[in-house]
Amino acid sequence: MGKAFAALLAIITLASVYFFAARTWWMPVDISAHGPGVDHQIIETMLLTGVLFLLSQLALAGFVWKFGGPGEGRRISTFPGGAKVVVFAVFVVVGIEILTLSFFGSKVWAGMFFAPAAPNSLHIDVQAEQFAFFFRYAGPDGQFGGIHPELINDGNGNYFGLDPANDVAARDDIVVGSLTIPVNKPILLTLHTKDMIHSFFVPELRIQQDIVPGLEIPIHFTAVQTGKHEIVCTQLCGLGHYNMKAYIEVLPQDKYDEWLKSQSQ
Amino acid sequence: MDHPPAQPTSPQSASTQAATAHVEVHHHTPPQGFIWKYVFSLDHKVIGKQYYFLSLIAVFTGMVLSWLMRVHLAWPTFAIPLLDKLSPNGAPGGVITPEYYLSLMTLHGTIMVFFVLTTAPQAGFGNYILPIQIGAEDMAFPRLNMLSFWVTFVAFCILVSSLFVKDGPPISGWTAYAPLSALGTAGGPGLGLGQELWAFSIATFCIGSLLGALNFIATTLDLRARGMSLMRMPLTVWAWLVTAVLSLLSFAVLLTACVLLILDHVGGTSFFIPGGLVVSDQLQPHSGGSPLLWQHLFWFFGHPEVYIAILPGLGVIANILACTARKPFLGYKVFAYCVMGIGFLSFLVWGHHMFLSGMSPYSALTFSVPTLIITMPAAIVSLLMVCTLYGAKIRFTSFGLFAIGFISVFITGGMSGFFLAQPSIDTQLHASYFVVGHFHMVMGVAAIFGMFAGTYFWFPKMFGRMMNETLGKVHFWLTFIGVYCIFMPMHYIGLAANIRRYSAFVDDYLIPMIPVHKFITVAALLTGAAQLIFLYNLLWSMFRGARAPANPWGATQLEWSVPSPPPFDNFGGKHPVVYHDAYEYGVQGSTGDYVMQDSPEKIVSS
Amino acid sequence: MKTRYFLALALLVAVSSALVVLAAPPAGNGSITGKVTYTGTPPKMKPIDMSKEPTCAKQHATPVMTENLVTGPGNALQDVVVYISAGAPETSASSQTLRYDQKGCQYLPHVLAMEANQPLEIYNDDQTSHNIHPLAKVNPEWNKSQPPGTPPIQAKYEKPERIPVKCNIHPWMHGYFVVLNTSHYSVTGNDGGFSLKDLPAGKYTVTAWQEQSEPQTQDVTLGAGESKSISFTFKVLPY
């Protein structure tokens, strides 16, 4: 029984590690400028935890194999060095691991969230609501109109609560249901929500941020590859949460300019 | 490790015994009548069983809810028979609507976290075993104990009643983030009366837990028998003690949060709701509140809560491992200090649930550091358990198998924690199935293994009968393989950005992952079916199992020194005296390869 | 002598018949027809971006436009509900079941007029779940999810009310249920025309309601079998 159990433990351990190592299911392609830092951190962590996982589970399997059963004639014995060795090993190995991961990880985090957006960023306003995302570009006048929650009218397409009757800056704001951006240009998104907590996540962009009512939260990134991907909501916001997404399309600069022009007509 | 044994006590007069007892205990006479014996009993053993059976009902309810969820995820248009009778609005024609899925998910999480994981390991086993293990007649406050059970029972009834509310049960998850949970019916179905019942249920549960926590702490500190120093207590008692301290400090905060939430619903307040919200085309009449306030209050409770769920399991497994391995637990003192360390650190890390919540990114790093540090005592206890098996003579009984299985699943669950503790990685893994896999592995599997091991181990003591060993082993093999099949794949699809709490997978990039969900669903249904073997074994053995001796496993703790089941006052009027540490195994004892804690014999190292 | 008797009798019968015919309630074949138009610059309707729901988006070769103020040729105004708000003869509610469709992530028709207590069936013709939420204030408010392939929702409203309807899952989906206590109503098409038929002689108040404006009323008096033509004009603003 013990040997079968040990074998099962080993098989489960190796199978579990296999699917990580083989990347059978893996992160989608990274299209962001800061993404390599995030991916590097994930892979570092995976290697470190993978080694610890293998060692500890295989040790468990090994001990179960070797020390299972009444062991007639065998005496019990204590782990060499006793508890002190375990404590020391954890302090050293896990300690170094968490110091390393913290150090490099905080640099990645700081790059994403401490540093402000580049001054020449393209600024796009995002409105999250039950259950869609809408995006607003400033239009030819380069100014965003003010947001008035009491004027929000989804049936009329006034998702942001703009007041074009009285607010000239709002008249040329471009409001669309998918996010189109140029490649290789810093993008600054200001995230708003009109109702519940939502979240903005593009797996390929390696960026995720909750959108909180009452707060205006900026995030910034640069996409370095063209293509079309999905933005999904990751914070439970009601019954339609599963169906809350928008497409993000990264275009070459000239195609983006064409698209922007076509929206202003 | 060896202590000079105390001299065997000579019979003393009752007055001398009373004078040398630690504390005056209120002796209660055996209860008469069905109501006082089995319903409103003051006996910690009856109360422990009441909690245990409440948890058993809760865990099967929670499991059925999870089967409904998993079937819907794998086959969204499948019409589930009879479900439209339970909820015509939630499942028209038997097809689960998006909001009903979220209701099932909310109740699943709430029932499992509160009524299973916070109840059975601590209030169930703790109530039954702790007083006997420390040599006491009962808990310090038997009446409070009885009250805490019935308060918990009422909380469960309130929660289940939300299933039958016209507008539906709540849909905001067991975490009930505001403003979704605070706005009332404006936010959507299930958020009016359903959400209010949820908040009432949890607030009531908090009160029951607070009462219980007081009892555990007072009992452990004051009612230990002579010779039962803190460092001679079984590790289970350490775990229950630290868990009780965590409960006392954290449930008070959750109670407050629930009261504020109820006030936002019925009192016209706006603790969690800012101004300017437009829901269902209407400007909401609230302003000034903060959704993040709910999250801080909730997770300040929520993180210690998950340690409340796992620490008793750690104690139970450590206790059982020594018996299974027939040798002392490696590093008793280190383990005790680690449990205390984990308890302390658990109050410093709550923000790791909020890295992306909109709180300051500087705070994220501040929370990340203690979160990574807490991996260290957790790693130490895991390795102590592994290394206890070195040089052992492992007995593969059902409880032994579950104890060793616990080590494996706890290590697995802990590993995924390393990823989630880092904010830079959390940007990719937050709200994905990676998180779902992580917390199910540590709570839904490891903690439950603790309860299975505890059940197989203590069943003879609690019911005076033996469970069927063969069925126990079959239960173990099917469950152990099953849980890895269910929860390991979640880590993979989580890495591929499969988002959680979706009632259906309609996004382009999620469609290719649906076959994995089908696999998980099949595994979940089969593993769930295997739990019926356990249920059958449990119920059948209660009435038909072979009679159990006092110490069927050759264990050393005080509960094994009394008959199975124990008399109403545990020690039959005697006051036990403790001479030895908790895990004197692998020695030449008068009764076998062990020496019981209350045995006056000297230990001869073999 | 007898011939004169007969003639007098015949005359009497003829005259009384004529009187009977004239005195009986006249047949209701009067009508009020007309056109609803606008003055001013109407707001531009915006294209609806349905890209988040590809199964719906692909049903429309060109994007669907918002429908809060739909205009037609000759300054016509569409989707205006014109109805008799006073003076209409009492009738019991029609038992004909009305149909409301959720198709291509739109409500069809955008405005559905119905009588109080008239049965209504709501269909989901799409491959996605919808959750229809009529925002009633006078009648009971409810919302209901409809996964694809589930049976139509049966509904009925007892009290007259103009009820905005929205989908809880697709924010751009908006429509109206206009519950009336008369069977004499007409919703204008793209030509702005309306026709209220089968009206006996009498004094009537006709109300016209467009979702963006205050309702307008006009009094019309009809003779027996008379048809009158009236018009409504709504002032519109570009924003």
| pLDDT at res. B371 | 97
**Coil/strand/helix, residue B259:** helix
Number of H helices, E strands in chain C: 2, 18
Which residues of B fall within a CB distance of 8 Å from C151? 92-93
| pLDDT at res. B604 | 72
Residues 418-437 of B with CB under 8 A from A: 418-419, 422-425, 427-428, 430-432
Q: Is residue C66 part of a domain?
A: yes
B385 or C16: which carries more pLDDT confidence?
Answer: B385
Among A123-132, B466-475, C21-30, the least confident range? C21-30
Which of B290, B368, B411, B427 should one mutate to test binding to chain A, selecting the residue with the greatest count of A CBs within 10 A? B427
Mean predicted confidence (pLDDT) in A68-78: 89
DSSP B115: I
| pLDDT at res. B277 | 96
> Quick check: B409 pLDDT over 80?
yes
B30 pLDDT tier (thresholds 50, 70, 90): confident
B543 pLDDT tier (thresholds 50, 70, 90): very high
Residue in B with minimal Cα distance to C145:
B97
Record: contact A239-C237, CB cut-off 8 A: no
Distance of CA B274 to the CA centre of its chain: 35
Q: Is residue C200 part of a domain?
A: yes
Residue in B with minimal Cα distance to C147:
B97
Residue with tokens 């308060």, as numbered in its chain? B151
Residue in B with minimal Cα distance to C52:
B507
Q: In this prediction, what percent of chain A has a pLDDT beyond 90?
A: 96
Which residues of A fall within a CB distance of 8 Å from C66? 155-157
Chosen domain end from B209, B240, B273: B273
| pLDDT at res. B21 | 44
Pairing between strand B282-283 and A227-232?
Answer: unpaired
What is the side-by-side order of every strand in the sheet holding A198-202? A179-182, A245-251, A227-232, A198-202, A207-211
Under an 8 Å CB criterion, which residues of A touch C? 129-133, 153-157, 159, 163-165, 171, 175-178, 238-240, 243-247
Record: contact B509-A203, CB cut-off 8 A: yes
Mean predicted confidence (pLDDT) in B80-108: 92
Q: Which long-range contacts (CB under 8 A, 24 or more apart) does B191-194 make?
A: B191/B167, B192/B167, B192/B265, B193/B162, B193/B165, B193/B166, B193/B167, B194/B103, B194/B162, B194/B165, B194/B167, B194/B168, B194/B169, B194/B170
Rounded-to-integer distance, Cα C30 and Cα B400, Å? 92
- Asked if residues C179 and C160 have their Cβ atoms less than 8 Å apart, the reply is yes
Which residues of B fall within a CB distance of 8 Å from A19? 488, 492
| pLDDT at res. C1 | 62
CA distance readout (Å), B598 to B326, B550, C165: 18, 14, 75
Which residues of C fall within a CB distance of 8 Å from B89? 144
- Asked if residues A221 and A185 have their Cβ atoms less than 8 Å apart, the reply is no
Give C105's contacts (C-beta < 8 A, 6+ positions apart).
C50, C53, C56, C57, C126, C128, C130, C167, C170, C172, C173
Record: contact B92-C149, CB cut-off 8 A: no
Record: contact B509-A77, CB cut-off 8 A: no
Q: Is residue C19 part of a domain?
A: no
Q: In this prediction, what percent of chain A has a pLDDT beyond 70?
A: 100
| pLDDT at res. C9 | 77
Give B135's contacts (C-beta < 8 A, 6+ positions apart).
B223, B224, B225, B226, B228, B558, B571, B575, B576, B577, B578, B598
Residue from B141, B262, B283 nearest B201 by CA: B262
Shared-domain flag, residues B244 and B129 = yes
Record: contact B95-C164, CB cut-off 8 A: no
Highest mean pLDDT among B77-91, B289-303, B590-604: B289-303
Q: Which two tokens stand for residue B576?
A: 């036990």
Considering only CB atoms, B380 lies closest to which of A71, A87, A208, namely A87
Packed helices B375-388 and B291-325: angle between N→C axes, nearest 10 degrees: 20
Q: Is residue B27 part of a domain?
A: no
Record: contact B280-C151, CB cut-off 8 A: no
Residues 195-214 of B with CB under 8 A from A: none
Shared-domain flag, residues B173 and B195 = yes
Q: Which long-range contacts (CB under 8 A, 24 or more apart) does B332-335 make?
A: B332/B231, B332/B235, B332/B581, B332/B582, B332/B583, B333/A83, B333/B231, B334/A83, B334/A86, B334/A87, B334/B380, B334/B384, B335/B235, B335/B238, B335/B380, B335/B381, B335/B384
DSSP string, A104-162: HHHHHHHHHHTSPPPTTPEEEEEEEETTEEEEEE-TTTT-PPPP-GGG-BGGGTB-S--
Q: What is the CA radius of gyration of chain C?
A: 24
> Quick check: B463 pLDDT over 80?
yes
Residue B118, H or E segment: none
Residues 215-254 of A with CB under 8 A from B: 215, 217, 229-230, 232, 234-243, 245
CATH code for position B437: 1.20.210.10
- Asked if residues A131 and A233 have their Cβ atoms less than 8 Å apart, the reply is yes
Record: contact C143-B189, CB cut-off 8 A: yes
Q: Determine the Cα angle at B108 with ends B107 and B110, to 5°.
A: 60
Which residues of C fall within a CB distance of 8 Å from B95? 147, 149-150
Rounded-to-integer distance, Cα B285 and Cα B478, Å? 54
- Asked if residues B121 and B446 have their Cβ atoms less than 8 Å apart, the reply is no
How do residues A40-63 score in pLDDT, each as one tens digit? 999 999 999 999 999 999 999 999
Rounded-to-integer distance, Cα A30 and Cα A111, Å? 16
> Quick check: C94 pLDDT over 90?
no
Per the DSSP assignment, residues forming a β-bridge with B226 are B577
C26 pLDDT tier (thresholds 50, 70, 90): very low
> Quick check: B170 pLDDT over 80?
yes
Under an 8 Å CB criterion, which residues of C touch B? 54, 128-129, 131, 133, 135, 143-151, 164, 166, 168-169
SS (H, E, C) B318-372: HHHHHHHHCCCCCCHHHHHHHHHHHHHHCCCCHHHHCCCCCCCHHHHHHHHHHHH
Q: In this prediction, what percent of chain B has a pLDDT beyond 90?
A: 88
| pLDDT at res. C91 | 75
- State the number of CA atoms in the 13 A half-sphere of B421 facing the CB: 26
Mean predicted confidence (pLDDT) in C93-101: 92
> Quick check: A89 pLDDT over 90?
yes
Distance from CA of B424 to the nearest CA of A (A): 5
| pLDDT at res. B32 | 82
Subunits with 3+ Cβ pairs within 8 Å of B are A, C
Record: contact C46-A156, CB cut-off 8 A: yes
How do residues B100-123 score in pLDDT, each as one tens digit? 999 999 999 999 999 999 999 999
Q: Which two tokens stand for residue C238?
A: 């570009």
What is the side-by-side order of every strand in the sheet holding A174-176? A174-176, A132-137, A122-129, A186-193, A217-222
Q: What is the CA radius of gyration of chain A?
A: 26
Q: Determine the Cα angle at B449 with ends B448 and B455, to 5°.
A: 90
Which residues of B fall within a CB distance of 8 Å from A237? 180
Shared-domain flag, residues B189 and B240 = yes
Considering only CB atoms, A234 lies closest to which of B172, B407, B430, namely B430
SS (H, E, C) C215-229: CEEEEEEECCCCEEE
Phi, then psi, of B488 in degrees rounded to 5: -65, -45
Alpha helices in C24-93 (DSSP H): 54-57
Distance of CA A136 to the CA centre of its chain: 23
| pLDDT at res. B356 | 97
- Residues making up chain A, counted from first to last: 265
How do residues A150-199 score in pLDDT, each as one tens digit? 999 999 999 999 999 999 999 999 999 999 999 999 999 999 999 999 99
C89 pLDDT tier (thresholds 50, 70, 90): confident
Residue in C with minimal Cα distance to B100:
C145
B25 pLDDT tier (thresholds 50, 70, 90): low
| pLDDT at res. C20 | 54
Residue from B200, B241, B201 nearest B221 by CA: B241
Subunits with 3+ Cβ pairs within 8 Å of A are B, C
Shared-domain flag, residues B591 and B531 = no
Q: Can you give the residue ranges of every domain in chain A?
A: 2-68+80-113, 122-264
Which of C52, C67, C167 should one mutate to test binding to chain A, selecting the residue with the greatest count of A CBs within 10 A? C52
Per the DSSP assignment, residues forming a β-bridge with A246 are A231
> Quick check: C189 pLDDT over 60?
yes
Give A37's contacts (C-beta < 8 A, 6+ positions apart).
A107, A108, A111, B424
Q: Is residue C20 part of a domain?
A: no
Does the interface ipTM go beyond 0.95? yes
Mean predicted confidence (pLDDT) in B463-485: 98
Question: Count of CB atoms within 10 A of residue A249's CB?
Answer: 17
Q: What is the average pLDDT score of chain B?
A: 93
Q: Is residue C136 part of a domain?
A: yes
Residue from B386, B398, B381, B303 nearest B348 by CA: B303
Residues A122-264: name the CATH superfamily: Cupredoxins -  blue copper proteins (2.60.40.420)
Residues 140-179 of B with CB under 8 A from A: 171-173, 177-179
Q: Determine the Cα angle at B565 with ends B559 and B568, to 5°.
A: 90
Distance from CA of A130 to the nearest CA of C (A): 7
Which residues of A fall within a CB distance of 8 Å from C238? 165
Under an 8 Å CB criterion, which residues of C touch A? 43, 46, 48-53, 66-68, 128-129, 131, 145, 164, 166, 168-172, 174, 237-239
Domain count, chain B: 3
Record: contact A209-B276, CB cut-off 8 A: no
Record: contact A8-B361, CB cut-off 8 A: no
Q: Is residue C11 part of a domain?
A: no
Q: What is the average pLDDT score of chain A?
A: 96
Mean predicted confidence (pLDDT) in B250-274: 97
Rounded-to-integer distance, Cα B20 and Cα B380, Å? 39
CATH code for position C60: 2.60.40.420
Question: Count of CB atoms within 10 A of residue A172's CB?
Answer: 17
Residue in C with minimal Cα distance to A134:
C49
> Quick check: B92 pLDDT over 90?
no
Chain B interface includes A88 (CB < 8 A): no
Q: Is residue B76 part of a domain?
A: yes
Distance from CA of A128 to the nearest CA of C (A): 11
Which residues of B fall within a CB distance of 8 Å from A27? 428, 495-497
| pLDDT at res. C92 | 76
Chosen domain end from B251, B273, B295: B273
Residues 560-599 of B with CB under 8 A from A: 585-586
Q: Is residue C15 part of a domain?
A: no
Q: Which domain holds residue C132?
A: 28-235
| pLDDT at res. C239 | 87
Domain count, chain C: 1
| pLDDT at res. A133 | 98
**Coil/strand/helix, residue B187:** helix
Rounded-to-integer distance, Cα C30 and Cα B402, Å? 87
Q: Is residue C122 part of a domain?
A: yes
Alpha helices in chain C (DSSP H): 2-23, 54-57
Q: Is residue B533 part of a domain?
A: yes
Amino acid at B318: A
Subunits with 3+ Cβ pairs within 8 Å of C are A, B
> Quick check: B149 pLDDT over 60?
yes
Chain B interface includes A119 (CB < 8 A): no
DSSP string, B541-555: HHHHSPBP-S-TT--
Record: contact B95-C146, CB cut-off 8 A: no
| pLDDT at res. A74 | 87
Which residues of B fall within a CB distance of 8 Å from C105? none
Q: What is the CA radius of gyration of chain B?
A: 25
Residue with tokens 């592994």, as numbered in its chain? B386
Residue with tokens 């014996």, as numbered in its chain? B37
Residue from B194, C126, B394, C182 nearest A243 by CA: C126
Which residues of A fall within a CB distance of 8 Å from B403? none
Per the DSSP assignment, residues forming a β-bridge with B585 are B594
CA distance readout (Å), A73 to A70, B491, B553, B590, B594: 9, 44, 21, 19, 16
- Asked if residues C213 and C202 have their Cβ atoms less than 8 Å apart, the reply is no
Q: Which domain holds residue B70?
A: 34-273
